[in-house]
């Protein structure tokens, strides 16, 4: 089979398309022929060395396809099942060898590409606004990168549960996408200061929560926008990590909370994974959640896909097609 391999972490050109042996499903495993592979920022961190990885490896953490074969000891799956997954490294390949315990079936009739488009980003948006900070009717929140994959989903979910949503974007086109997802106020951070833009709207009635995937460029101003006992939810670092800072600042700004969650800790058990994925996939299936697949690249063009993502030239979900 063909797969992207990384022999040494670094720039996007370290990814090479190679011919490798097709794996065989062992105890507790599924062999899945992939229809689509989800591209996520974590892939770029693992490729670049921001997250150290043992090399060589095949990158990627998310995909969807059809079960080709079932290993010993697996129940509940059979050849021909349409499945999706996230959190299993090695997705940039024609076939994925998956633990059955980390794989879920897709709803009948759903476009199989949606499985690769929704699992990581959809469940991320879900835990952010249903567990890390539970959005309630009347809350006000800020979602950075509102036209990105998580951003568009998070806006929709926050609106679903009654929040007023501010969001930052870089272009007029992205602003329209964020508005289409339900954002009440879109801020072009390339043209205006997002902190001042929010203050102009809410005054002293500050935000309950800031969902920040940008980090270095936005973190400090985001803290300034929180009301007393408000929460900063830092779930990414597209502009680089936040520098060390004095925790006493949080007390001076109103006994603020800061947290750095990751999806893995919200789907640690099979029960957690099934419950969270079922709710997200169900919302997509019944039309409550709109998933925007923005761009697709052939698997062989993984470098171009990474460059587009890190260059902020994408909107919605980016997929690789084997």
Q: pLDDT tens digits, the chain, 322 residues: what are they?
A: 999 999 999 999 999 999 999 999 999 999 999 999 999 989 999 999 999 999 999 999 999 999 999 999 999 999 999 999 999 999 999 999 999 999 999 999 999 999 999 999 999 999 999 999 999 999 999 999 999 889 999 999 999 999 999 999 999 999 999 999 999 999 999 999 999 999 999 987 799 999 999 999 999 999 999 999 999 999 998 898 999 999 999 999 999 999 999 999 999 999 999 999 999 999 999 999 999 898 999 999 999 999 999 998 888 899 999 9
8 A C-beta contact, residue 165 and residue 182: yes
Does residue 125 fall inside a structural domain?
A: no
DSSP 216-281: TTTHHHHHHTEEEEEEEEE---TT-PPPP--THHHHHTTS-EEE---GGGGS-SHHHHHHHHHHHH
Same domain, 221 and 142: yes
Same domain, 30 and 92: yes
Q: How many CA atoms lie within 13 A of 254 on its CB side?
A: 14
Does residue 129 fall inside a structural domain?
A: no
Same domain, 250 and 291: no
* DSSP conformational letter for 305: H
Does residue 127 fall inside a structural domain?
A: no
Same domain, 203 and 276: no
The CATH number for 211's domain is: 3.40.50.720
Cα distance between residue 306 and residue 299, in whole Å: 11
Same domain, 109 and 162: no
Does residue 225 fall inside a structural domain?
A: yes
Please give the model's pTM, rounded to 2 decimal places.
0.91
Domain stop point among 260, 277, 312:
260
8 A C-beta contact, residue 12 and residue 305: no
Same domain, 226 and 253: yes
Same domain, 112 and 142: no
Non-local CB neighbours of 30 within 8 Å, separated by 6+ positions? 67, 69, 70, 71, 74, 77, 83, 97, 98, 99, 100, 103
Does residue 56 fall inside a structural domain?
A: yes
Whole domain around residue 168: which residue ranges?
136-260
Q: Which residues pair with 83 in a beta bridge?
A: 65, 105
Domain stop point among 232, 260, 288:
260
The owner of tokens 């299936």 is 285
Does residue 131 fall inside a structural domain?
A: no
Domain stop point among 214, 230, 260:
260
Same domain, 68 and 175: no
Q: How many domains does the chain have?
A: 2
The CATH number for 68's domain is: 3.90.180.10
Cα–chain center distance at 185: 22
Strands 62-70 and 29-39: antiparallel
Does residue 76 fall inside a structural domain?
A: yes
Does residue 128 fall inside a structural domain?
A: no
């Amino acid at each position: 089979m063909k797969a992207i391999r990384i022999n040494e972490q670094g720039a996007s050109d370290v990814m090479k398309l190679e011919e490798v042996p097709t794996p065989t499903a062992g105890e507790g495993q599924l062999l899945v022929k992939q229809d689509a592979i989800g591209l996520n920022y974590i892939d770029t961190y693992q490729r670049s060395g921001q997250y150290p990885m043992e090399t060589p490896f095949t990158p990627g953490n998310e995909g969807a396809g059809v079960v080709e074969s079932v290993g010993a000891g697996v129940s509940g799956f059979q050849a021909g099942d349409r499945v999706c997954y996230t959190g299993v490294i090695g997705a940039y390949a024609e076939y994925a060898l998956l633990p059955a315990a980390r794989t879920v079936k897709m709803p009948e009739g759903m476009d199989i590409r949606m499985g690769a488009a929704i699992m990581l980003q959809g469940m991320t948006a879900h835990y952010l606004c249903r567990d890390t900070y539970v959005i309630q009717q009347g809350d006000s929140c800020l979602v950075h990168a509102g036209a990105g994959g998580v951003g568009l989903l998070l806006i929709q979910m926050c609106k679903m549960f009654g929040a007023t949503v501010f969001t930052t974007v870089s272009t007029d086109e992205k602003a329209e996408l964020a508005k289409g997802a339900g954002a009440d106020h879109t801020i072009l951070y390339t043209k205006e200061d997002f902190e001042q833009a929010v203050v102009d709207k809410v005054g002293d009635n500050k935000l309950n929560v800031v969902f920040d995937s940008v980090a270095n460029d936005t973190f400090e101003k985001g803290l300034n926008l929180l009301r007393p006992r408000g929460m900063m939810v830092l779930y990414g670092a597209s502009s680089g990590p936040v520098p060390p800072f004095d925790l006493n600042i949080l007390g001076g700004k109103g006994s603020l909370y800061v947290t750095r969650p990751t999806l893995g800790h919200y789907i640690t058990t099979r029960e957690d994974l099934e419950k969270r994925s079922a709710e997200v996939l169900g919302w997509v299936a019944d039309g409550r959640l709109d998933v925007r697949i923005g761009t697709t690249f052939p698997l062989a063009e993984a470098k171009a896909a990474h460059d587009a993502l890190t260059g902020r030239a994408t909107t919605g979900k980016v997929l690789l097609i084997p």
